[in-house]
Amino acid sequence: MDKYSCWFQSIENPEYKYNIEDVIYRCSKTGSLLEVEHDIEELKKNPPEYWKELFDSRYRRQSWPYGSGVWGKKEWVVPFIEDKNIVSMYEGGTNLFWAEKYGKQVGVEDLWIKMCGNSHTGSFKDLGMTVLVSAVKQIISNGTEIRALACASTGDTSAALSAYCASAGLKSIVFLPKNKVSVAQLVQPLANGATVISLNTDFDGCMKIVQEVCRKQQIYLANSINSLRIEGQKTISIELCQQFNWEVPDWVIMPGGNLGNISALGKGFLMLKEMGLISKLPRLVCAQAENANPLYRSYLNNFETFDSVPAKTTLANAIQIGDPVSVNKAIKILKMFDGIVEHASEEELANAAARVDLTGTFNCPHTGVAISAFEKLVKKKVIKKSDKVVIISTAHGLKFVDFKINYHLEQLKDITSQFSNKPIEVEADPDKVMKVLESQIL
């Protein structure tokens, strides 16, 4: 793959370029975030059908590492990494679930949920972390000293970083906001041997501290401010088109917090179109929790201004972010895709997640935000009943069991659980059990 190349480039001025193996997160000239750019002309020497056949021939096969949903697209992601330095957990390849029953309920039958939580650590963060940790392993093998990798996290990023570092034999450090992540999210980095720092602040406060620590120490920053993460996450777009036999949906809806995810989603579609594998772009929707919705507020004034907000507590804690670092990337992508930003209240997101669970899924509260946004756009007739729609489910519901059980026990504060399903306590008497069953299902 030596003939394929990529580099870092300023998102504000494409003339400023940097070596892909440099330890750098922002442009030294403009201060802007960086993007990974590829030698598209070299890639284009192979026609679209070549890439489709190559990606399809690798997809979910056992030829390591190319069976991975990320590494099967290696030439489009990070071609500079040698196979021996790849750290992979067979990520990607997640179910594109036809939400037939739910789709019929809302009148949009061509409705799909991309179940990204069916991944190694239970969230879509694995897609970016496999790339970042592999890149660090490559950089170290080339002689650069890196003492550890670190991230600020609301839960899922820390789980992915700690798992991939453990597999690679690298040290990981995670900064978590105290009492603001679920027990399931906290236990993952603990189990994988990470150094866990619990800070009495929110995610935005953790983000400021981790950046300062990484500047002063030989510690590599693993948040989505690092554009290598985006390269892995962009494979969601490629994979879902592949699963549709290279057909493009009309809409893709995704929850947004630090906004690297919506940026990655758009980047994947843009590369597909530029390479000729698809002929049109979908419309994108970024869904935010009402309690942490700075992008939604900016959208209401056509992105003319953007102001960070103090993020209030939300059940969708992974997107409880009031000062997202990737906002400029996200706004750029949304403008290119005729995108929409919606938000959801706590009651809306909780009931939306529960409603879809009743049709056979088990989604995180962040997916509930995306589902609520979808329902609002259907009600407004922005999304047509004949449209093909994909909702990105970013994490598995098992990481949020407290949210689930409190919903069904009707113990979530200020929320009316429309779809609660309490367990029924009955004496161990067959006649009394039968009487209850007759009233319930018989």
Q: Is residue 336 part of a domain?
A: yes
Cα 198 to Cα 246: distance, rounded to the nearest angstrom: 44
Predicted confidence pLDDT, tens digits, the chain (442 residues): 568 999 999 999 999 999 999 999 999 999 999 999 999 999 999 999 999 999 999 999 988 999 999 999 999 999 999 999 999 999 999 999 999 999 999 999 999 999 999 999 999 999 999 999 999 999 999 999 999 999 998 788 999 999 999 999 999 999 998 888 878 888 999 999 999 999 999 888 999 999 999 988 899 999 888 999 999 999 999 999 999 999 999 999 999 999 999 999 999 999 999 999 999 999 999 999 999 999 999 999 999 999 999 999 999 998 999 999 899 999 999 999 999 999 999 999 999 999 999 999 999 999 999 999 999 999 999 999 999 999 999 999 999 999 999 999 999 999 999 999 999 999 999 999 999 999 887 5
Q: Is residue 10 part of a domain?
A: no
Kindly compute the dihedral angle of the four CA atoms of residues 175, 179, 181, 185, in this order, to the nearest 10 degrees. 80
**For the chain, what is the domain count?**
1
The CATH number of the domain holding residue 102 is: 3.40.50.1100
SS3 (DSSP) at 278:
coil
SS3 (DSSP) at 313:
coil
Cβ contacts of residue 183 below 8 Å, gap of 6+? Answer: 402
**Measured between alpha carbons, how far is residue 21 from residues 135, 137, 307, 397 in Å?**
8, 11, 33, 36
Tokens for 365, please give them. Answer: 């509260």
Q: Are 255 and 287 in contact (CB under 8 A)?
A: yes
Cα 298 to Cα 331: distance, rounded to the nearest angstrom: 9
Phi, psi angles (nearest 5°) of residue 288: -120, 155
Q: Is residue 107 part of a domain?
A: yes
pTM of the full predicted structure? 0.94
Kindly compute the dihedral angle of the four CA atoms of residues 267, 273, 277, 279, in this order, to the nearest 10 degrees. 140
Q: Provide the strand spans (E) within 355-426.
A: 389-393
Q: Is residue 286 part of a domain?
A: yes
How many whole angstroms from its chain centre is CA 275?
24
User: Parallel, antiparallel, or unpaired: how do β-strands 283-289 and 340-344 relate?
Assistant: parallel
Q: Is residue 389 part of a domain?
A: yes
Give the type of residue at 279.
S
Facing residues of 148 across strands?
A: 219
Q: Is residue 211 part of a domain?
A: no
| Count of CB atoms situated within 10 Å of the CB of 348 | 20
Range of the domain at 310: 96-121+230-408
Q: Is residue 65 part of a domain?
A: no
Residue among 223, 237, 227, 230 nearest 392 (CA)? 237
Q: Is residue 21 part of a domain?
A: no
